[in-house]
Chain A
Amino acid sequence: MAVCLVLALTGKMSASPAGGATTVEDVSRDAFTKPLANLEGERRSAFFVGNSFFNQNWVAAPASTTARDGLGPLFNTRSCSTCHFKDGRGASPEEGRPFTTALLRISIPGSDPHGGPLPDPIYGGQIQGQALPGVPAEAEVKVSYETISGTYSDGEAYTLRKPVYRMEHPGYGAPSPRLLMSARVAPAMIGLGLLEAVPEKALLDRVDPDDRDHDGISGRVNRVWDVGAKAMAVGRFGWKSEQPSISQQVAAAFQGDMSLTTALFPDENFTPGQEPCASLPNGGSPEVGGKVFDSVVYYSRTLAVPAARGSGDAEVRRGREVFNELRCAACHVPELTTGEWREFPELSGQTIHPYTDLLLHDLGEELDDGRPVFDASGREWRTPPLWGLGLVPKVNGHNTLLHDGRARGVAEAILWHGGEAGPSRDQFRSLPKADREALVRFIESL
């Protein structure tokens, strides 16, 4: 029987539900934690089991709970839910404070055999700020912010903050002097399965690297290494579209963030230059077995998107007009349709409103991190989905946006857009205050 419980109980969907029949209506602190509305019976039960693994803290090996050991030796966090708290979004670190729900990616100039970032010979591809007893942590990462002042056309002043990162107390000697650093906040988990269900063709159809249609917007796919298939594939997850699938994203997070090995990434995340780490016991091979791993992947695919809110509101309606007038929708594409996915009928054939094209775009030197990832240059970033954005303050208690959380709210995020988005940003700066606020309201309503 079709339950559609949340649909039925919490009211009629707005004219354009964010995630089609999977959409939940929830505006609470738990708005991001719900299973797909059309997920039923045993499949719904499996979601909750995945949720328990997502929330659980991993511990050092050996431990009495063999299903939960293997953390470290070097790690950023003990559980998925630390950074993706309530399946939501991580925050930018405060000045001088340790990173808690964000992390620092590193590499050196050049590329690995598959065209990916070249890891630092000692510190690898990511700084892990924590370690098990007996070995040093990699470093303390700190941020300071430079203030950039600007004004809207109507004379109202604003300030932006530009992050500068540094590594303090390196535990294994000096890293490469040519180290490239880029911070990442944990993105929200909602709707990932729907985005995976969008056919590759839908991405490729929008690709326009040479801007043949002269609209000023390019759009490229990132061609990345698919570890399981041992082949290049179209990337669609991660801030630079560096992961081709949810499963690889999850495995990479287990390895990179918690140093938990999986069948896909069987190696611990320390390098030969971090020799003391090799002497610590591990939690089995792999540490995250197939059943637990599959369960977390399933969970990540079946998290629902909350419905858009306030579509009947006049200011929100005006905001939508401004959104279109400024051509935000050229990249933040309002509507996509998912394909057929035999294992996931719930995700199949849904008309969804993620406000992304899942492609890379040049955001200019304003957001240039100088650290290429496969085909994505330092200036290029994947259009992030906008759905659920307005609920982040409720769910996560902050409103920091962009890949490193530098923007304090939607308006600042828009003001950071450069490159292809520069003209839209300039138009935003010229808008009357009421229209600027309406645009922000609209984006926060999605």
Chain B
Amino acid sequence: MHPFRFILPLLCLFPVSVQALDEGQPAATKSARLKTEVVRHYAALAGATCRDALQAAEALQSAIDAFLDAPSDATLSKARAAWLDARKPYLHSEAFRFYEGPIDQLEGRINGWPVDENYIDYVEGDAHAGIINHPELYPELSKETIADLNEKDGEKSISTGYHAIEFLLWGQDLDPKGPGKRSFQDYLTGPGATAPHPERRREYLRLITGMLVEDLKTVENQWADHRPDNYRAWFEASATHQSLRKILHGIAALGGTELAGERLTVAYETKEQEDEHSCFSDNTCTDVVEDALGIRNAYTGDYTCLDGTRLQGPGIADLLKETDPALADELGKQIDASVENARSIPSPFDQAFLGADTAPGRIAIHRTIRSLQSQTETMAKVASLLGVRDETQ
């Protein structure tokens, strides 16, 4: 099914132009105009962030192509570096999730986790595990086959996306001090090959990298400017309170539910490496920081693109300042605190969560969870204050 089929009928329901909202009382006009500007600027940030995520994924694809053309320690290192670079803008773009927007439509394919690695490739103790090593079950690897297998046997059966690529670049992380140590020789087909089915492994990596780029392209198209029939056009033309509600819900759900809950609390409680977000590359600490920064970008309306361009404009912070400057200040400080707390978590994350609750790593993780929860509670207050709760579905 085309993921955006729902947009056209919805557009018919919301043909109202933005200007119509400004035709109220003069006192209300300024506030209405600011709200409209916040929505439009948020959409601009989403567009720029998703464009950056796409570009960084395209760079990752080039690096992986170069690696597959000539597997070596050097080309594998470059591919890994490109993966790490590609994560940052994508993580920023997660602030634009959790309201059935463009990313949500494809998120399961783009960023599914945790990955049960033996679903994809060999693991310690089972040299023949995974889709790659079972040509008799999956004779032909194709984008369609792999897409169909994603989440097929449960939510951990992930076959696509960043974390599947991560596993194929790093392998299992069996080293307490560092990330996974997969050898480039896993991708050699002749002498020196270290694992069965190198051809299939190469094809698999090539295919899922291509799928990631295509999916991010779809997302980018939906948030791109000047397209009359995309999600952004609909988002900007919708009643402002509906769009503001989405903006707040997105950053609250990312901080309070996804980040504080699923990504931090679970690993904190289970102390299991499998429960950390980027377990193969040991990039989890960066994941947390960049997500927290994404929330701040959406709140302040300030984003510096990969090419150095700085986008500045009204954010939720500016809107809130009009109504309750003290609350705006409080929330801004809480969001800053979450970023700082996230930065204080010592890497690698899979060591930080070990030990007693008094261990510095665990204290830092717990503090981050608490501050994300606090900011989310404040966002709930803000939602009430801004009156974005009068919805009928």
Contacts and interface: CB of A to CB of B under 8 A. Distances in A.
B100 A28 contact: yes
Contacts of A46: 269
Given A81-B156, A309-B393, A311-B392, A9 B383 contact: yes
A258 to B, nearest CB: 11
Contact of B380 (A3, A52, A79): A3
A53 to B, nearest CB: 8
Interface in B83-111: 98-100, 104, 108
A27 interface: yes
A212 interface: no
B262 A48 contact: yes
Instruction: Please give me the 10 A-B residue pairs with the lowest Cβ-Cβ distance, nearest first.
Output: A11-B391, A82-B154, A8-B380, A48-B261, A309-B393, A45-B265, A79-B154, A81-B154, A52-B266, A49-B269
A12 interface: yes
B153 A47 contact: no
A78 B391 contact: no
A171 interface: no
A11 B389 contact: yes
B270 interface: yes
A12 B260 CA distance: 25
A51 interface: yes
Contact of A41 (B154, B257, B269, B373): B373
A16 to B, nearest CB: 13
A11 B269 CA distance: 32
B165 interface: no
Contact of A9 (B245, B261, B262, B373): B245
B391 A25 contact: yes
Given A9-B248, A12-B391, A14-B392, 14 more contacts: A5-B376, A8-B380, A9-B379, A28-B98, A29-B108, A45-B369, A52-B266, A52-B270, A64-B125, A65-B272, A67-B270, A77-B153, A309-B393, A311-B392
Given A57-B156, A81-B156, A10 B380 contact: no
Interface residues of B, number: 46
Interface string B366-378: 0001000100110
Given A10-B249, A48-B262, A49-B265, A81 B155 contact: yes
A312 B157 CA distance: 40
A55 interface: yes
Interface of A: 1, 3-5, 7-12, 14, 25, 27-29, 34, 41, 44-49, 51-52, 55-57, 63-65, 67, 77-79, 81-82, 85-86, 100, 307, 309-312
Contacts of A49: 265-266, 269-270
Contacts of B262: 48, 51-52
A211 to B, nearest CB: 39
B248 to A, nearest CB: 6
Contacts of A25: 391, 393
Interface in B355-391: 369, 373, 376-377, 379-381, 383-384, 388-391
Contact of A5 (B151, B154, B377): B377
Q: Which of B99, B104, B153, B390 has the most CB of A within 10 A?
A: B153
A9 B270 CA distance: 30
B116 interface: yes
B392 A45 contact: no
Nearest to B263: A48
Nearest to B373: A41
A4 B380 contact: yes
B116 A57 contact: yes
Contacts of B153: 57, 77-79, 82, 100
B265 A1 contact: no
Contact of B377 (A1, A12, A48): A1
A79 B253 CA distance: 26
Contact of B261 (A45, A63, A85): A45
Given A45-B261, A48-B265, A81-B156, A5 B390 contact: no
B230 to A, nearest CB: 19
Contacts of B266: 48-49, 51-52
A227 to B, nearest CB: 27
15 contacts: A4-B380, A8-B381, A9-B380, A11-B245, A11-B389, A11-B391, A12-B391, A45-B369, A49-B266, A63-B125, A67-B270, A78-B154, A81-B154, A81-B155, A82-B153
A267 to B, nearest CB: 25
Contacts of B155: 55, 79, 81, 85-86
Contacts of B270: 49, 52, 67
Nearest to B1: A397
Given A14-B392, A28-B104, A52 B116 contact: no
A359 to B, nearest CB: 31
Interface string B109-153: 000000010000000110000000000000000000000000101
Contact of B274 (A10, A65, A309): A65
Looking at A7, A25, A56, A312, the one whose CB has the most chain B CB atoms below 10 A away is: A56
A147 B365 CA distance: 58
Contact of B390 (A1, A11, A48): A11
Nearest to A28: B100
A115 B116 CA distance: 42
Given A11-B245, A81-B154, A44 B125 contact: no
Nearest to B119: A57
Contact of A12 (B272, B369, B389): B389
A238 to B, nearest CB: 21
A436 B302 CA distance: 52
Given A3-B377, A309-B393, A85 B156 contact: no
Contacts of A100: 153
Interface string B146-177: 00000101111100000000000000000000
A27 B100 contact: yes
B392 A312 contact: yes
B320 to A, nearest CB: 14
Contacts of B272: 65, 67
B252, B380, B390: residue with the most chain A Cβ atoms closer than 10 Å:
B380
Given A4-B380, A49-B266, A55 B156 contact: yes
B276 to A, nearest CB: 11
Nearest to A306: B393
A396 to B, nearest CB: 11
Interface string B262-301: 1001100110101100000000000000000000000000
